[in-house]
Amino acid sequence: MKLKFFLLFFICSLKIFPQNSINILVFPAISSTSFSALIPSNELQNNVRIFCVDVSPQGIPVVIKGTFEWKKVGSNVFLELGNFETNQFISKNFCNEELGTAEIPIKSFQSNQQLIDENLQIGVPSGVYRINLALYNFDGTILLAQDSEELSFLNPAQTLQIINPRPNLFYDPGNLLVEWTSIAGADDYFIKANTRSNPSQSLEEALNSGIPLVNNKSVGLINSVNLREILERELEPSSEVVIQVSANVPGPLGGNRIFSQIVNFNVVNPENPLVNVNELRLRNILRRLTSSQLLALIENNQLNLNEIRILKEDNSPMTIEELVNFLESNFENILRIEEE
Amino acid sequence: MSKTLLFFLFFFNQLLFGQFENFDYKTNPPEVFENQNFSLIIELLEFENVNQAVLFFRGFGEGDFISKEMIIQGNSLIVEIDGRDVKPPFIDCYVKGLTENGVEFTYPQKAFETKNFIRIDIKNKTEQSGELILLNPVQDDILTKEEFFIAFSILRVKESLDLTKIRIMLNELDISRLIQISDDLVYIPQGSQFELKTGVNSLKIFLYDKSGKLLKELSVLFQIISEIQKKEFEKIKFVLNGSAELNLSNENLRYGSNNFNRLNLLVNSNYGSIFSNANVFITNEEKSFLQPQNRFSFLLYNNWFKLNIGDHFPSFPSLILSGKRVRGFGTDIKLGFINFQATYGEITRKIEGNLLTLIKRDTIVLDPNLIKIDSIKYGQPFGLVRFGNFSRKIFAVRPYFGSGENFQLGFTYLHSRDDENSIEFGSKPRENLVIGSDLFLGFDNKRIQFNFQGAFSFLNNDISLGNISDSTLDSLKNNNNLGIDADLLRKIRDLLGNFITVNQHISPLNPHKLPTLALETGLSLNYLGNYFKGNYTYIGNDYSSFGQNFIRTDIKGFQILDRISLFENRVFLSLTYERLNDNLQKTKITTTTFNNYETALSLYLRNNFPIINFSFSNFDTKNDIDQFTNDSLSLMNMINDNIKVFNFSSSYDLKYFIKHKLSFNFINSSKTDLTPKDFSSKFNSFNFSIQNIWKKDLNTFIKTTFSNSKIKNTDFDYFSITLGGRLSLFENKLTNSASLSVFSGDLKRSVLDLSARYSFMKNLYSNFNLRYIFNSSNIKNESIINFSLRYELY
Amino acid sequence: MKLYSKLLLTIVPIIIFIGSNNIATKKTYTAAVVTKVIQEVKHKSGNEDWQTTKPLTQLKTNDLLKTGQKSVAVLKYVDGSILRVRENSTIVILADKREKGLIKNTKIENGKLVFDVNKQSDDDKFIITTPTAVATIRGTSGLIEVLDDGSTLLLLQTGSIELESLGLNRQTSVVEAGTSSLINPDGNIITNELTEQQKQSLSNAYKTNEKTIKVQTNRGNFKIYYLDSE
């Protein structure tokens, strides 16, 4: 009998006094964010959700005390950046953007100015930050539960570079290896490729015009791929192609997408593999002359040599090949090139 | 009898072998001067049975012979050569003909094979008068008024000449009073007072001896062209040209079917020195949920003013704005030393996002696509969305000094901002401000060039909260726990706030460390066939310009390039070395260094020798993480790889019965990854092709490819062969081509390409292309059909 | 007799004096006139500064003429012979007017020129001198160039030339049309047939008529200025 009453009392007391807990959930492996997301201040509100807190029990007046610590890159020791205490509020689940609002106002906040300055000197969050949260009773005197979590800011955006194909070279349409540098923290790479309709189109314009040959196709966590295997449309012989690789680095509000440079290359035409030779010959011969705007336009791929008109003094037309042959055989008689 | 027999034997012998040797020739006039018409008379000394004769002639240094039908008059073959084809020092010619019996003959015998031609000496005009040597102008000269002067030599006649009685008549007007004499040179200088008329003018010179008797008379005609009148004529000329092209395409591929319909209209015109271009491109790929695919642009310009309306690509310093399509207005005004360019318009079109799921306040959800939404409208404060794109506008202005011929200094201001009210479901509307400067110096006809550009950027990653408010600043001031100098922040906001939104999301927070600074500088020298260039680049980790989205940041280093032409520009050698590193602000746990070098050799040895190109590239990328570490974070971040690329190509025109164009290419690329991740790869590709030019309107080609690649233990090898040809018919009105490519190995398919081009008339033609792909059994066959119609207006 | 002797003694010196003065006053002679200038050409007389050359510039004995990069000067001697002085060349005009005939000597210090010399009478001479060779020309056309190492290259198109080398191994040779001769600083003369490339160079060197090729693009229009045949 006594045992039954003890168990009943125990069960009732459990109900009357439910189990206290506080559990912090942080965004996995965020690469970067701004400092404002980390500062729990009444004054500086933000929209970026970095962490959330699961509180139990709910509906009771509680106070939360927290500390932020920082371990710099290359150090093993956590140092306190600052600490805060909220006013009393009715316990509920919340996320970082609610700290400092009317619902969960901050009673006090203290910081280590030197460390804050050091962080600002760097400019972006780097290293490892640790959040320690403690749940207290309504007047902040009795500790009910506590938890801590680390936020790792990995290498901020590295630059992504396409190694292959090389700009302006010629490649076989049947086979092309695309290679690029690694990005730490990336969880996926994407390829986008398109046809450039004419050299006066900028590379960015060419990449975004029309329906791409490869439309942001996910290739996984690798650094090279055979373009032939991922083509969604056919490569046309004699066409010029632009390609870009991007890396997805997860984070709040869409994470970060890192983009490589846009590289342009040409696809060989088996019927006339020499079509590029005239352009090479023209570049070489113009380089031998003093520099001109015409050479600059060709070298910057801003001219479609198939769309220019060449006229002799009597206004009869000349082809590119005829012009190149003429310039090569009469090089010493070329005086100058001027823009009209 | 025997003599008669001998005669006939000789005659028939000649008939059989077509050898006529009894020819003689003369010219009329006997001495031929340049630009002078003359007749060539070939006299048949014995036989009169020529039915047809053609003269083939060419001037000195010319490769091809010009043919001209000869007139047969009795025993003579006569042809008139136009003065335009008569240039010193000589003309080579030969005759080919047919006798009445159909026997071909050549004079001189086997002239073309032995290069034994009839050579007619052509004298210079200055000899025309013999003793009176006219130096300028000469017969049929074409000069401007400014270039015109009269000069002749009396070297040969001075002894008997009465210098006081020299008479010069210009267009029948006596201008002898203007004569000046220097030793044996008689001249009337430029700028003298006499009338020249545009068009044909006449000059007559009369020399008298001491007794008053006419010693020598010379008369020439020449043309005067006025530069100003020539330009005036071009000014009032109106020129219009353009093209219209309709392109219809259907692609039926394994991933689905697509139809593309495109129309491109282009009109160019100029009225004197004012030029305009209009371009309209319309496509069915235009969709409201994509960035614009249609293009509309109008350009108006002359030599000092340019106006762009519609889609245009402003060209500013490359660090700030380059390659970006702007839909709006752009202008460039060149006033000489002071110039100005500006652009304003939209660079990103708004695309609305979608609300996917509503999320309650107390629900703990950490998701990249979670944002606050209108709780009154949707009933909940958060939602999971597919993000849209804000509309983004850009404004850039650049005053610059100097034309850029030898000097230019420019200053650029760029501002770009997302319109946060343009869509409902977006995140982080941003704003960007960039200021920069650029300098160009050129010396010695631009053989020495120095370039510099620098820029500093500000970026606000979330302007949705607007500028930091006064109340917030006051509150920060009162509550100093954050250690933020509120007064300083207020000053910064008041100053910068006119240009960019200032709040806690602005970058850089540490401007003194220059994370948003970008610099590029370079020097190039071009002398003695040697082009040398050195560049230095510094781009801070936080540098950002909305006008140049894909610039590589957090990088600094230099590049050296040397391009040399040797052996009278027959050999080109280029060498490039580049060394870069990142982690400029020491924000990363490791610094990565890039060491790249490339070398290329091109041989353009003419005179029947192949064109050869070699290139070799080596790329080393390594960071400073300890290779033997066991730390998981370090292992994940370790980079240590080397890529080597070797490329060889050659092309050659071979003449063996017909012309064959040979082309050969070999690429070898190998990447060695020395980290535990081991993303090593190898790639080899060999291509050979031959194009046979049977006739001008018929050619064929064969191409083979061997390819082998290995990416992280996955092989991809294939072999292909392509056969094809091109044929033109109906006087090149219709051109057809066909090719078949067969692939085997890891890529199994066959590709049939057919195309036809037909010219309805000179300016109107159509193209039809069909590509049919026979895939391996488990993939459906694919086809691409394309038809286009193009009209050119000249 | 005494009177006669006195007369002779008086008149002869006078005649000699006048004659010598005449000879002395013929130190400068207008030997040639410039008829065309392409780009940068300068000339100089005596100790004067270099002046910009224009058409109708007269060149007297001992005058210098030089052409710059991509520049050409066409000059005609008073006997009608034409010289086309190509780029980066310097020449000296030397002319000696005799009672009968005119001796013309063009000295090339560096560079190259194309010569088109009219048939010379017995009293005339046309000579071209380089650091390593002397060429006597009689109704001939061709090209002569001083190479970087001081050698002389002669490409002969028509006529024939007497060539004399000036090096240690002095040689003389008669060079015929259609041949090239290389005279090295040692004085050796090496003669061969004109190659196709040399024929092309020769043909190109004759061109002094400025023409243009227009290149129209959607990024602007350009003109390529070049020299063509006259």
Residue B265 belongs to a domain:
no
Contact A124, A99 (CB under 8 A): no
Same domain, B21 and B62: yes
Residue A11 belongs to a domain:
no
Same domain, A69 and A111: yes
CATH code of the domain in which B168 resides: 2.60.40.10
Among A153, A177, A198, the domain-final residue is: A153
Q: Say which of A116, A181, A259 has its CB closest to residue B621.
A: A181
For residue A230, give the DSSP letter.
Answer: H
- CA A41 to chain CA mean position, Å: 28
pLDDT of residue C11: 54
Neighbours, chain C (3 or more CB pairs < 8 A): A, B
Residue with tokens 């086979």, as numbered in its chain: A175
pLDDT of residue B405: 78
- Mean pLDDT over the full length of chain B: 83
pLDDT of residue B10: 35
Same domain, B116 and B31: yes
Same domain, A189 and A114: no
Q: Does residue B658 or residue B509 have the better pLDDT?
A: B658
> What's the rounded Cα separation, in Å, for the pair C141 and C103?
18
Among B123, B156, B176, the domain-final residue is: B123
For residue B70, give the DSSP letter.
Answer: P
| CB pair distance less than 8 Å for B709 and A179 | no
- List pLDDT tens digits, range A222-264: 877 888 778 887 777 667 899 999 988 776 666 678 888 888 8
Same domain, A81 and A142: yes
- Which two tokens mark B655? 């003449």
Same domain, B169 and B144: yes
Residue A207 belongs to a domain:
yes
Ranges of chain C with pLDDT below 70: 1-27, 218-219, 230
Same domain, A26 and A138: yes
pLDDT at B234 over 60: no
Residue A337 belongs to a domain:
yes
User: Over the Cα atoms of chain C, what is R_g?
Assistant: 22
Q: Hey, where are the domains in chain C?
A: 25-228
Percent of chain B with pLDDT over 90: 22
Q: Phi first, then psi: give them for residue B439, nearest 5 degrees.
A: -140, 135
Q: Please return the burial class of B698, using the count of CB atoms within 10 Å of its CB with bins 0-12, 13-18 and 19+.
A: middle
pLDDT of residue A3: 40
pLDDT band at B787 (very low <50, low <70, confident <90, very high): very high
Length of chain A: 340
Residue A191 belongs to a domain:
yes
Q: Say which of A200, A329, A335 has its CB closest to residue C225.
A: A335
Please tell me whether the interface predicted TM-score (ipTM) of this complex is above 0.90: no
Q: Say which of B371, B482, B663 has its CB closest to residue A273.
A: B663
Among B365, B386, B407, the domain-final residue is: B386
Residue of C nearest to B61 (CA): C203
Same domain, B186 and B101: no
How close, in Å, is residue B167 to chain A by CA atoms? 38
Domain containing B370: what range?
354-386
Same domain, B119 and B151: no
| CB pair distance less than 8 Å for B126 and C80 | yes
| Mean pLDDT (whole number) for A262-276 | 66
Beta strands in B196-255 (DSSP E): 199-208, 214-224, 238-253
Residues whose CB is less than 8 angstroms from the CB of residue B428 and which lie 6 or more positions away in sequence, other chains included:
A253, A254, B461, B462, B464
Q: Given CB atoms, is C229 within the 8 Å cutoff of chain B?
A: yes
Same domain, A147 and A44: yes
| CB pair distance less than 8 Å for C224 and A337 | yes
Residue B61 belongs to a domain:
yes
The number of domains in chain A is 3
Among A153, A177, A205, the domain-final residue is: A153
> What's the rounded Cα separation, in Å, for the pair C178 and A23?
100
pLDDT of residue B218: 86
Same domain, A241 and A298: no
Same domain, A106 and A160: no
| Mean pLDDT (whole number) for A336-340 | 79
pLDDT of residue B483: 59
State the number of CA atoms in the 13 A half-sphere of A51 facing the CB.
24
| CB pair distance less than 8 Å for A49 and B636 | no
Residue A33 belongs to a domain:
yes
pLDDT at A87 over 80: yes
Q: Say which of B447, B661, B726 has its CB closest to residue A290.
A: B447
Neighbours, chain B (3 or more CB pairs < 8 A): A, C
Contact C180, C156 (CB under 8 A): yes
Alpha helices in A209-292 (DSSP H): 227-230, 275-288
- List pLDDT tens digits, range B116-131: 788 887 766 554 444 7
Residue A204 belongs to a domain:
yes
Domain containing A176: what range?
155-270
- List pLDDT tens digits, range B385-414: 888 889 999 999 999 999 887 899 999 999
Residue B149 belongs to a domain:
yes
Residue of A nearest to B739 (CA): A271
Q: Given CB atoms, is C217 within the 8 Å cutoff of chain A?
A: yes
Beta bridge partners of B761: B764
pLDDT of residue B651: 77
pLDDT at B660 over 70: yes
Closest CA to A47 of A94, A97, A95: A97
Q: Does residue B473 or residue B640 have the better pLDDT?
A: B640
Same domain, A127 and A219: no
- CA B473 to chain CA mean position, Å: 57
pLDDT of residue C219: 66
- Which two tokens mark B769? 């292309």
pLDDT band at A174 (very low <50, low <70, confident <90, very high): low
Among B97, B123, B149, the domain-final residue is: B123
Inter-CA distances, A254 with A47, A217, A244, B458, C156, Å: 13, 18, 20, 22, 79
pLDDT at B191 over 80: no
CATH code of the domain in which A102 resides: 2.60.40
Same domain, A49 and A139: yes
Same domain, B214 and B119: no
pLDDT of residue A6: 35
Chain C interface disruption, residue of B117, B120, B153, B295, most C CBs within 10 A = B153
pLDDT band at B11 (very low <50, low <70, confident <90, very high): very low
- Which two tokens mark B186? 């008689």
* Architecture field, domain C25-228: Sandwich (2.60)
Q: Phi first, then psi: give them for residue B212, nearest 5 degrees.
A: 90, 0
Residue of B nearest to A110 (CA): B481
> What's the rounded Cα separation, in Å, for the pair A330 and B710?
48
Closest CA to B384 of B404, B370, B402: B370
pLDDT of residue B568: 62
Same domain, A248 and A183: yes
Residue A9 belongs to a domain:
no
Same domain, B58 and B141: no
Residue B33 belongs to a domain:
yes
pLDDT of residue B9: 36
| CB pair distance less than 8 Å for C215 and A327 | no
Same domain, A262 and A309: no
pLDDT of residue B29: 73
pLDDT of residue B414: 97
- List pLDDT tens digits, range A197-232: 766 677 888 888 878 889 899 998 887 788 877 888
Residue A329 belongs to a domain:
yes
Cβ-based contacts of B479 with chain A (< 8 Å): 42-43, 109
| CB pair distance less than 8 Å for A303 and C212 | no
Residue B533 belongs to a domain:
no
CATH code of the domain in which A164 resides: 2.60.40.10
pLDDT of residue C67: 94
| CB pair distance less than 8 Å for A308 and C214 | no
Same domain, A204 and A216: yes
Q: Does residue B466 or residue B397 have the better pLDDT?
A: B397
pLDDT at A138 over 70: yes
At residue B235, the 3 state secondary structure works out as helix
Residue of B nearest to C121 (CA): B156
Q: Phi first, then psi: give them for residue B375, nearest 5 degrees.
A: -70, -25
pLDDT band at A268 (very low <50, low <70, confident <90, very high): low
pLDDT of residue B695: 79
Cβ-based contacts of C203 with chain B (< 8 Å): 60-61
pLDDT at B48 over 60: no
> What's the rounded Cα separation, in Å, for the pair A237 and A155?
41
| Mean pLDDT (whole number) for B141-145 | 79
Sign of the C-alpha dihedral, residues B375, B376, B377, B378? positive
| Mean pLDDT (whole number) for B557-581 | 84
pLDDT of residue B523: 95
pLDDT at B203 over 50: yes
Please count the residue pairs, one from chain B and one from chain C, whose beta carbons lie less than 8 angstroms apart. 79
Element (H, E) at C60: strand C58-60
| Mean pLDDT (whole number) for B708-722 | 81
> What's the rounded Cα separation, in Å, for the pair B374 and B354?
14
The number of domains in chain B is 3
pLDDT at A274 over 70: no
| CB pair distance less than 8 Å for A309 and C215 | yes
pLDDT of residue A307: 64
Residue with tokens 């070999």, as numbered in its chain: B666
